[in-house]
Structure 1
Amino acid sequence: MSTLTRRRLLAAAAAAATTLALAACGDDDDGGGSTSGAAVSDADVQAALNNGGDLTVWAWEPTLKQVLVKFQQAYPKVKINLVNAGTGNDQYTALQNAIAAGSGIPDVAQLEYYALPQFALAKSVTDLNGFGADALKDRYTPGPWASVHSGKGIYGLPMDSGPMALFYNKEVFDKHGIAVPATWAEYLDAARKLHRADPKAYITSDTGDAGFTTSMIWQAGGKPYQVDGTNVTINFSDPGSTEFVTTWQTLISEKLLAPIAPWTDQWFQGMSNGSIASLATGAWMPANFTSSAPSGSGKWRVAPLPQWQAGAKASAENGGSSLAIPEKSTAKTLAYGFLRYAAEGEGVQIRVDNGAFPATTAQLRSPAFLGAEFKYFGGQKANEIFAQSAQDVVGGWSYLPFQVYANSIFNDTVGKAYVSSTKLADGLKAWQEQSAKYGTEQGFTVK
């Protein structure tokens, strides 16, 4: 499940990360055990798995526990210590501290896609091209595969993905004669119609979230972040950003969004009782409906994400993580063997069976996966919609090499538009300016 839309990350950890990044840009030390000088073959990786050894894996994703059980049955000489060093910011802070100290560094680390660039720029994680990872391109869907790249380097293997879809309460929509919106303009009309019919009901809730905002701009074709090494451009006046702002400002101004923070009891209650009638988010969401809004079972359905342009087929990612190998790991070949198993091999199906949403094309094309019926969604084959969304993710998106910091100041900039008279466009401008100021202070060339 995504944590991208759930956390407010602290600026202190980001400052440490980007300071290390800029220091590392001029450091050519490969850290020992680097694969940059010679390729490691599949035979080398298999030999390492057969010979065994010890690995430390830092990750919070729960289905990895089941993966480890099967992995160690297949490779009994490999001993893995799975450590939950905290989710998101907590783990990133611990990882940066270990890197700075030069000790206690894990062999494998879970890194969300938006956080991976700062570790890649810092040369804190291994370029997997030395293991032939570039040959795996066609095994992953476009969005996650693009997200593990920095320049020509591949700095992780996609573990899961969050292609977006529209989850909606069919019972509520039918009651008020609301058609499933195919465009965001229709979504706005639906929001008005619903709130007029029932002032206590809202089309969705939104109190301001960095991950959701950037995903929506991504789907609109926006490219506010352009990154070339330490040269960064930030521009929230591009057409995609403007298109999102125009629609979302109307929803805010007309008070058509429920002022309920996500992941709270009130949020799940709203989805259970119909006062929150839809949710645009990643394909990892179904398990959360089942566990936290059980009384909504049978009432909800899934539809393709509304489009910014009628007749278009565009989507975006919202959430998802990679598995990466820290550059200072002393067991890189063995670690890569684990990455292949967990993120591309047998471990993928194990994770899917336990509720994860895959980034791999094999699973997304599987008749069994596509044909799975979701009881919560009235027996709907929702994976068909999610899989198509994964194929429709708009290309060319980039995150900042200090996105962790940028997300941490979202509430103080863009977030004001949801709770005050600040306009959304002004909030984005402030976010742009403060992010640019921070990047410049950290040594980036920001335009």
Structure 2
Amino acid sequence: MRTKAVRHTLRGLGLVCAAALALTACSSSTTGSGDGGPVSASGLDTALSQGGSITVWAWEPTLKQVVTDFEAKYPKVHVNLVNAGTGDKQYTALQNAVQAGNGAPDVAQIEYYALGQFALGKSLQDLSKYGAPDLSKQYSPGPWTSVSINGGVYALPMDSGPMALFYNKKVFDKYDLTVPTTWDQYVDDARKLHAADPNAYITNDTGDAGFTTSMIWQAGGHPYKVNGTKVSVDFTDPGSAKFTDTWQKLVSEHLVAPVSSWSDQWYKGLGDGSIATLAMGAWMPANLASGVPTASGDWRVAPLPQWRQGQSASSENGGSSLAVMKSSAHQDLAYAFLKFANAGDGAQDRIKGGAFPATTADLNSQAFLDTAFPYFGGQQANKIFSDSAKSVVTGWQYLPYQVYANSVFNDTVGKAYVSSTPLASGLKAWQDASVKYGTGQGFTTGQ
């Protein structure tokens, strides 16, 4: 079961980021084993048999069991698991330690959207020397793309968030709504529902950077293009326009509830039916079960609506990785822990604890696919999530300073939800702010 704090970070919401996270502050001393030459499996075995101590900074609760099992299997290794803060708080602490040249952990949990910032800043070890690229087929495409940066592999995926549509079947049945297969149908449902009950809305939205980028991703958009320190930002591309044109109708016609996600009012709306759907990552079921228990049996899961009838495109919404810090003096042990946690026995610990897998073997296992969810009326929802993971649109990139970009989302795009500012204008303002910041940090930027 995820904590509230973990849910927030998994959604990839805008985070307030200190200027210390900028490119110019991301250099790192290179101690420990460094880049070095290839490290074989026998080399890792030797490191494990010799033992030692590593520190892991992470907030994800399922890692506690992973540490217990790892230490039981390798009794000469001690893992110091530290919660140094969630998301942006940990990133700030991590960057401060990198700048100071001491105090950084051996392993750090980093969300996919923030990973490029640390990788490009040379704070993370490229795991290619351990043969990490050979693990590519073990993971679904979305998470693997996120950890593969500029020809290197800078982390191993912990989990994934392929998107799906969660909908209140009780509400849909009451108002004779058809589960939408396209976003145009979704808008029609929104109009029909709100006309029938002015207090009911198809969904809520007050502006969410992670949701916006996930929707543009699904629409085939590529607003961010990154090649080393050369970046471009363009929210006028066709995919962005698809999202903007459709979502503007919902905002302009007041068809989305002006309620912030994860607020008390949001939970109430999910429970009483006044918020009828959520387009979110596959990590959401446990949150519904714990946060809205009274609505058990009312909700179901469907594939994400499409931008064009007949398509089956999806995108990722949230998720984290584990990375080895380049300053670590125990990189071999650190990588061995990563592999155990994310590609070995520890991955099963995490799945049992409620994490949604990024590993294809688990996504395709019959036991996983056949799991019945009592909250969803016994529906085998993992079949939908698994199909979504296989259908994630490839080629998506985040900015190497996405943490900062997301932090100014509400100051730019957010205005479209509380004023007459069009979404397209808000995205243009977000684009301009992102380009300006990147230029100031030494990136070559453009549109």
TM bucket by the smaller chain?
over 0.9
Partner of 1:400: 399
**Letter paired with 1:16:** L
Structure-1 residue corresponding to 2:101: 102
Match of 2:361 in 1: 362
Contact 2:22/2:441, CA 8 A, preserved across alignment: no
d(CA) in 2 for partners of 1:173, 1:216? 23
TM-score scaled to structure 2, two decimals?
0.97
The match for 1:92 is 91
Please state whether the residue corresponding to 2:37 is helix, strand or coil: coil
RMSD (Å), alpha carbons = 1.1
1:337, distance to aligned residue in structure 2 (A): 0.5
Does 2:136 match 1:137?
yes
1:17 and 2:22 correspond? yes
d(CA) in 2 for partners of 1:65, 1:176: 45
Residue 6 of structure 1 and its aligned partner are, at CA, apart by 6.2
Contact 2:13 2:209 in 1 (8 A): no
The answer to whether the 8 A contact 2:215-2:315 is kept is yes
Report whether the alignment pairs 1:33 with 2:33.
yes
1: distance between equivalents of 2:177 and 2:246?
Answer: 19
8 Å CA contact retained: 1:6, 1:262: no
Distance 2:41 2:259 in 1: 50
Give me the TM-score of the superposition, normalised by structure 1. 0.97
Task: Kindly report which structure 2 residues correspond to 1:287-366, keeping only aligned pairs within 5 A, or say none.
Answer: 287-366=286-365
Specify the SS of the correspondent of 1:177: coil
- Deviation at residue 5 of structure 1 after TM alignment: 2.8
Mapping for residues 16-415 of structure 1, pairs under 5 Å? 16-21=21-26, 24=27, 30-34=30-34, 36-415=35-414
**In the aligned structure 1, how far is the partner of 2:429 from the partner of 2:17?**
16
Question: Residue type matched to 2:11 in 1?
Answer: T
Q: Which residue of 2 aligns with 1:8?
A: 14
Equivalent residue, structure 1, for 2:415: 416
Paired residue type of 1:110: Q
CA distance in 2, matches of 1:140, 1:206: 31
Query: C-alpha deviations, 1:335-385, integer Å up to 9, x for none?
Result: 000000000000111111111101001110111111100000000000000
- Letter of the aligned partner of 1:266 in structure 2? Q
Could you give the per-residue CA deviations for residues 269-308 of structure 1, whole angstroms, max 9, x where no partner exists? Answer: 1101100000000000011001110011000000000000
Specify every segment of 5 or more residues in structure 1 that has no aligned partner in the other structure, as ranges.
none
Deviation of 1:71 after TM superposition, in Å, equals: 1.2
Classify the secondary structure of the residue corresponding to 1:276. coil
Contact kept, 8 Å, 1:5 with 1:209, in 2: the verdict is: no
User: For 2:409, what is the secondary structure of its paired residue?
Assistant: coil
CA contact (8 A) 1:17 1:96 kept: no
2: CA distance, partners of 1:16 / 1:281: 28
Q: Give the number of equivalent residue pairs.
A: 440
Are the counterparts in 1 of residues 373 and 379 from structure 2 also a CA contact under 8 Å? Answer: yes
Q: What letter matches 1:42 in structure 2? A: A
Alignment-mate amino acid for residue 285 of structure 1: M
> How far apart in 2 are the matches of 1:338 and 1:4?
22
Distance in 2 of aligned mates of 1:111 and 1:340: 15
Partner of 2:3: none
The answer to whether the 8 Å contact 1:4/1:211 transfers is no
1:89 to 1:69, Cα distance in 2 relative to 1, 3 A: same
Question: What CA distance in whole angstroms lies between the structure 2 residues aligned with 1:6 and 1:150?
Answer: 19
Q: Deviations over 1:376-408 (max 9, x none)?
A: 000000000000000000000000001000000
Q: Secondary structure at the match of 1:446?
A: strand
Shift in Å at residue 17 of structure 1? 3.3
User: What are the Cα deviations for residues 412-442 of structure 1, in whole angstroms up to 9, with x where unaligned?
Assistant: 0000000111100000000000100000011
**Alignment partners' CA distance in 1, 2:97 and 2:148:** 24
Q: What's the CA shift for 1:11? A: 3.6
Q: Distance in 1 between matches of 2:192 and 2:274?
A: 14
Give CA-to-partner distance per residue, 1:183-226, whole Å, 9 cap, x none.
00000000000001111000000100000000000000000000
SS in 1 for 2:18: helix
For residues 251-273 of structure 1, give each alpha carbon's deviation from its aligned partner in whole angstroms, at most 9, with x where no partner exists: 00000000000111111111011
Is the Cα–Cα contact under 8 Å of residues 50 and 75 in structure 1 kept in the other structure?
yes
Q: Is the 8 A contact 2:12 2:318 kept in 1?
A: no
Aligned residue identity for 1:416: K
The amino acid of 2:139's aligned partner reads: Y
Q: Partners of 1:390 and 1:361 in 2: how far apart?
A: 9
Give the counterpart letter for 1:106 in structure 2: P
- Residue 290 of structure 1 aligns to a residue whose secondary structure is helix
Tell me the SS of whatever aligns to 1:82: strand
CA distance in 2, matches of 1:223, 1:7: 19
**Residues 1:30 and 1:11: Cα distance change in structure 2 (over 3 Å):** closer
1:114 is paired with a residue of what secondary structure? Answer: helix
Q: CA deviation at 1:52?
A: 1.5
Paired with 1:381 and 1:55, the residues of 2 have a C-alpha distance of 39
Deviations 1:15-66 (A, max 9, x none): 4332224xx4xx9x744411x3310011111222222110100000011011
Task: Note the residue ranges of structure 2 that are not aligned, 5 or more in a row.
Answer: 1-5
Secondary structure at the counterpart of residue 324 of structure 1: strand
Letter in 1 for 2:25: L
Q: Return the alpha-carbon distance in structure 2 between the equivalents of residues 100 and 30 of structure 1.
A: 12
